Structure 1
Amino acid sequence: MARDKEAASWAAMALQYSPEFPAGLRVAAASNAMAGRLEQARKAMARLRQLRPALRVSNIRDLVPHRRAIELARFEEGLRKAGLPE
């Protein structure tokens, strides 16, 4: 969970400079969800869904193909918790 909080902090800093940065919103949504900060996760997800309405858990691999399988599974879990549809 400590890494989730750290990731959420870095995402928040990135979003201060670029509030509509999709990668920052994805990380903010997933990491906040995994850290138990569901309100922040859902807010980030809502903004992300406005910017990328076609985004789904099923197509996230197209955006982050460099992740290892275990990291991708955890990222997908966080995105699901934040409200991203399958």
Structure 2
Amino acid sequence: MRCPLLFLDDLGAAKTSEWTEELTYRLINHRYEHMLPTLITTNLPMEQLRVTLGDRVASRLAEMTERVILDGPDRRRRTAPAA
């Protein structure tokens, strides 16, 4: 919670439960209230984040973040070159 810069990779990819939703809320809310810099990556659009993480988290994310949409080919899904 208190690290100078937090990087959350692939937010919303973990299996959700009440415990993960509450933990995510506490973390995001703390960063939000203390205006701490946080970098977040996700493959989910905001509406899916709302469903996955809950309204409280999605609301804070919408207010505290600037969205940067990256497009282009997915390097992990690139087909292997023919031999």
Check whether TM > 0.5. no
User: Normalising by structure 1, what TM-score?
Assistant: 0.35
Larger relative contact order, structure 1 or 2 (CA cutoff 8 Å, min sep 6): 2
- What's the TM-score once normalised by structure 2's chain length? 0.36
Higher strand share: 2
